[in-house]
Structure 1
Amino acid sequence: MTELQRIALPTGVELDVAIAGDPANPPIFLLHGFPESHRTWRHQIPELAHDHYVIAPDQRGFARSSKPEGVENYTPDKPVADLLALADHLGIGHFTLVGHDWGGAIAWMAALQHPQRIKRLIILNAPHPKVFQKSLFDDPAQRKASQYITRFRDTGIDKGLIGAGLERFFASTFAQHVVGGIAGADKAAYMGEWGQAGAMTAMLNWYRASSIVVPAPDEDAERPVWLDAPFPPVTQPTLVIWGMKDFALLPVQLKLDGLVPDLTIARIEDGGHFVPWEKPEAVTSVMREWLAAHA
């Protein structure tokens, strides 16, 4: 069991942070996504800690970290600021950044906006902002697969996400996306995290605060102008690991030509969306091999 440190940041939140390894080793930050916590990385943390200084926060709104009220506290710039403030607190200048799902969205943004801080980038089943928004207009299958975002943005669902409602959410929205199922201690850990006061609203606020446009399946929506304009490339060496059985984020998200010049893609054919713990050995092996090659 990884011990958590409670760290207060100047961004106004307190985060629970799993920290492992020797601070003298190269630092690596691991950012989880929805609807998880640092436990996303439970298999990777001890492995990476052999030769890295590993930092895996429970991001704002998740588990037992601070849950500020108001959608405006969950716009992507806020978790990016938390990440940099956490690095500053630990005396870390530049580092390798790893992100899954929403954590990956934050990682893409941080890498694009703060190239002087982020040395290498590892993304797991998290779409590049331009590729994702473009696919929601140009790829009918991805548009259909992303309609859950519109449901999550409906604040009317929050009041039903307690007790039996939480069990239903677990079964219908989460467990069905997990290759191999989920039960026992893992399920109990999720229910414990989600049952914290305000947790479900805070987690869903990440979707509500996002500027991503999700048109209805047959909607002729107005196309954002920036989609057809040049987009800055990611300058860091980047590894994208993708569980190919992800039914929410389709393989169209791997069309990264021109956006990530120094790119390695590792496809895990039998992994789903939650690939870090569905296929932990494969993920850890790919990460370690790539990190060694890009030391």
Structure 2
Amino acid sequence: MLSHHIQINDHPFHYLGWGDRNDPVILMLHGFPEYSGAWAEVAEDLSRDHHCVAPDQRGYGQSWAPEDVNAYRTGKLVGDMVALIEHLGSRPVMVFGHDWGAAVAYALAISRPDLVSHLIIANGVHPAPFQRALAAGGAQTAASQYIHWLRREGSEEQLAEDDFAKLSSLFGASMDMGWMTPERRAAYLEEWRRPGRMRGMVNWYRASPLRLGQPGEVITDLPEMPTHTLRVRMPHLLIWGERDTALLPEATEGLEDYCDNLTRVTIPNADHWILHQESHRVAAEVRTWLKRL
């Protein structure tokens, strides 16, 4: 594994790289509240025959963390990854997203299909099925109520209190955190303590256009989400940890309508933190899928 510091659009960014640079590239996009190191286990496995690249996305880790909420609009996050792909000099690339990283991965695949050869998602959601689930007032609406709290001004200070006790509690809520060793927690704390990172991380939620009501509230005036403008045209693999309590199966219902070539794989004993709990299984599923294409 090598650590790289580069300039993207005149701002500092950091990424980790595994494997031979001449091998096919897999761009790995982490979610909240993780950072590039979240991909270590999966990347070490896949780097036997791929060049795995995991950036600290905007607001995270050692990358640029602007204070302004508008700096975290989807188009800007996607622009960072377009510039990184261009920096790598290899296109198109495979893109692998998890959690919020999946949101960027989907947006990149939809808006710049020329840069994405394959799309892989682990416990992440396409914007259209997810928005419908959030607006339905059912189980996903209830499971996502924490978003209201995160969007409030000052939530970043509360997350950081008592050595990030609130963030740690949110991180592991109803999930299996057996993978979080003392060494790994120390690494996370190092990243979370960097100046401005808590605000940057929470700004992803504040900048998102996703609409969320209260439990039981149905939102009926959603914008149009046509399949032709939100289409995933390249081969797409969705790996799903069945025990996820943050993202529920209903958040992916109807995904087939938006995809030309979708493969679903369910892993029963994993939850939202599938990349850590079942890293070898995840890598094996990716390899199996690629061989079948």
Q: Is the 8 A contact 2:18 2:52 kept in 1?
A: yes
1:246 aligned residue (222, 244, 258) = 244
Identify the residue that residue 108 of structure 1 maps to in structure 2: 106
Q: Is the 8 A contact 1:95 1:118 kept in 2?
A: yes
Structure 1 residue 188: deviation in Å? 1.1
Structure 1 residue 78: deviation in Å? 1.3
Mapped to 2, the partners of 1:84 and 1:198 lie a distance apart of: 24
Mapped to 2, the partners of 1:227 and 1:6 lie a distance apart of: 37
Identify the residue that residue 4 of structure 1 maps to in structure 2: 3
**Structure 1 residue runs without a partner (length 5+):** none
Mapped to 2, the partners of 1:20 and 1:196 lie a distance apart of: 24
Cα gap change, 1:251 to 1:85, in 2 (>3 Å): same
Identify the residue that residue 283 of structure 1 maps to in structure 2: 282
Structure 1 residue 290: deviation in Å? 1.2
Cα gap change, 1:79 to 1:203, in 2 (>3 Å): same
Identify the residue that residue 206 of structure 2 maps to in structure 1: 208
Aligned AA for 1:74? Y
Q: Is the 8 A contact 2:233 2:259 kept in 1?
A: yes
Aligned AA for 1:157? S
Aligned AA for 1:235? R
Identify the residue that residue 120 of structure 1 maps to in structure 2: 118
Q: Is the 8 A contact 1:41 1:276 kept in 2?
A: yes
Cα gap change, 1:292 to 1:220, in 2 (>3 Å): closer
Structure 1 residue 158: deviation in Å? 2.2
Mapped to 2, the partners of 1:177 and 1:196 lie a distance apart of: 27
Structural mapping, 1:36-115, within 5 Å: 36-115=34-113
- Please list the CA deviations of residues 5-46 of structure 1 after superposition, one character each: whole Å capped at 9, or x if unmatched: 101112x43111111222221111111111001122111112
Mapped to 2, the partners of 1:234 and 1:259 lie a distance apart of: 6
Mapped to 2, the partners of 1:220 and 1:47 lie a distance apart of: 43
Identify the residue that residue 175 of structure 1 maps to in structure 2: 172
CA RMSD of aligned residues (A): 1.7
Aligned AA for 1:179? D
Worse-matched range after superposition: 83-92 or 175-184: 175-184
Cα gap change, 1:173 to 1:55, in 2 (>3 Å): same
TM-score, normalised to structure 1's length? Answer: 0.93
Identify the residue that residue 233 of structure 2 maps to in structure 1: 235
**Structure 2 residue runs without a partner (length 5+):** none
Q: Is the 8 A contact 1:125 1:241 kept in 2?
A: yes
Mapped to 1, the partners of 2:191 and 2:175 lie a distance apart of: 18
Cα gap change, 1:228 to 1:95, in 2 (>3 Å): closer
Structure 1 residue 221: deviation in Å? 3.5
Mapped to 1, the partners of 2:55 and 2:226 lie a distance apart of: 35
Mapped to 1, the partners of 2:219 and 2:145 lie a distance apart of: 14
SS where residue 15 of structure 1 aligns?
strand
Structure 1 residue 230: deviation in Å? 6.2
SS where residue 36 of structure 1 aligns?
coil
SS where residue 96 of structure 2 aligns?
strand
Structure 1 residue 93: deviation in Å? 2.1
SS where residue 131 of structure 1 aligns?
helix
Cα gap change, 1:220 to 1:135, in 2 (>3 Å): closer
Mapped to 2, the partners of 1:6 and 1:179 lie a distance apart of: 33
Identity in percent: 35
SS where residue 258 of structure 1 aligns?
helix
Aligned AA for 1:272? D
Worse-matched range after superposition: 195-204 or 216-225: 216-225
Q: Is the 8 A contact 2:227 2:257 kept in 1?
A: no
Q: Is the 8 A contact 1:5 1:17 kept in 2?
A: yes
* Equivalent residue pairs, number: 291
1:15 aligned residue (13, 16, 21) = 13
Q: Is the 8 A contact 1:71 1:208 kept in 2?
A: yes
Mapped to 2, the partners of 1:167 and 1:137 lie a distance apart of: 30
Q: Is the 8 A contact 1:231 1:259 kept in 2?
A: no
SS where residue 33 of structure 1 aligns?
coil
Mapped to 2, the partners of 1:124 and 1:146 lie a distance apart of: 18
